Amino acid sequence: MPVHLSPEDQALLRAVLRRRQPSSLWLIGDMDPRPLTPAQRDSIQCVLADELRETGHASEQAPALKKLIAFFGHP
């Protein structure tokens, strides 16, 4: 799991991936210490953007989702 994310951000990230793209959960797990490839980062960023689009920019989760999108957009 990326160390620069708060526990709350990590929990949100896991919840979104579990719901939308469970096959990507291993990418953020502790089992694989290698950095994410650009394609993996893009994939996670797209999943988060879809969640933001569906929940709305005024939702309670919007600020955290935007933070996660930015985090995965910058290697």
Domain segments of the chain as ranges: 7-73
Query: How many C-beta neighbours within 10 Å does residue 12 have?
Result: 19
Compute φ and ψ for 30, nearest 5 degrees.
-85, -5
- State the pLDDT at residue 30: 56
- Predicted TM-score of the model (pTM): 0.80
Compute φ and ψ for 69, nearest 5 degrees.
-60, -45
Q: What is the pLDDT of residues 9-51, one digit of tens each?
A: 888 998 998 898 888 777 776 545 567 888 888 989 999 999 9
CB 25 within 8 A of CB 18: yes
Amino acid at 38: P
Q: Which two tokens stand for residue 13?
A: 């990230």
User: Does the pLDDT of residue 67 top 80, yes or no?
Assistant: yes
Separation between Cα atoms, residue 29 and residue 10, nearest integer Å:
10
